[in-house]
A and B are shown apart, each in its own frame.
Chain A
């Protein structure tokens, strides 16, 4: 009788990037390091410091893992398409509808940290916590919800959409406190689909191999 918690995320979860590598190969295009990123291009890579040999197949393969994590509720719930965070394993709109606010930290009497403590609160259904709990700010929303693997990959490496992060900062971001918080869920919440170590490895592999985006 209760269907408030609509499972919006089911479809997205199912797409977890079953890419045909062979098809991709033919379509790959490499860019020179300083090429301005344009959204018209299907495959992009960012300049990287390591100058490693680029492997577009490995990159796209790694991104599949990255994507599975980013689209898990532990990550996506705070990267909503609207201004209300998502909640729970089914990523429903957060009860009481707190809003992003300019800085991503909520509004008025509904600031994230008013409920979300520096650490997970004990007990089932108590607020998860982190000292830096917030959404992306309103001028850099970094939306994950609803993004295809292709769209998300492109977005992640676009400094205009990723919080002005260059390659170095992107790599460092794997160990960001809030990213790590995904693997310390509060009681009753599921972990992301792979371990943080696996995620970090895939993240770096994706980036260092040219940050190729899967085909749309």
Chain B
């Protein structure tokens, strides 16, 4: 039995400790916002936060996640209003939307650590997330908008 703390809630699951966190979250806990894209940490569709870091859940074993705080896209904000989510909505970043749970989770880490990211910072943070629909130009713009939203929120 393993205990996973996801989005502030504890789940006791009966799973092989070697099972990637991705499948535990999706198939056992039943939170499907985190996506499978490649299984080998190439595409970033499966990014969740593990103690705040943007880990690739497709290669992160359940054993590593035990005792740590896991945040999935469902838990990033209560009302779909994290600055990154707001910015994504403001300029309609997603097309098919499949990769965007991962994109948003990666961008959230960038903004936490760098409230005013340059284009280079955005590349440095986001090149691990593939989007086959090609929404990259909008991801770039949205991260800048999110930074602005975050700045305003901190000021007020």
Chain A residue contacts of B41, Cβ below 8 A: 114-115, 121, 126-127
Q: Within the complex, what minimum Cβ distance (angstroms) separates A189 from chain B?
A: 14
Q: Chain B: interface secondary structure?
A: mixed
In this complex, the interface size class of chain A, counting residues with CB under 8 Å from chain B, is 20 to 34
Question: Given A108-B109, A108-B113, A126-B59, are A121 and B40 also a contact pair (CB < 8 Å)?
Answer: yes
Question: Given A114-B54, A121-B40, are A108 and B59 also a contact pair (CB < 8 Å)?
Answer: no
Chain B residue contacts of A97, Cβ below 8 A: 123-124, 127
Q: Chain A: interface secondary structure?
A: loop
Chain A residue contacts of B128, Cβ below 8 A: 96, 98, 109-110, 114-115
Q: How far is the CA of A118 from the CA of B65 in the complex (A)?
A: 12
Give 30 A-B contacts (CB < 8 Å), ordered by A residue: A95-B42, A96-B128, A97-B123, A97-B124, A98-B124, A99-B124, A107-B121, A107-B124, A107-B125, A108-B106, A108-B110, A108-B124, A109-B109, A109-B128, A109-B129, A110-B124, A110-B125, A110-B128, A114-B47, A114-B54, A114-B56, A114-B128, A115-B55, A117-B60, A121-B41, A121-B59, A123-B40, A125-B40, A125-B42, A127-B41
B residues within 8 Å of A by Cβ?
39-42, 44, 47, 53-56, 59-61, 64, 105-107, 109-110, 113-114, 121, 123-129
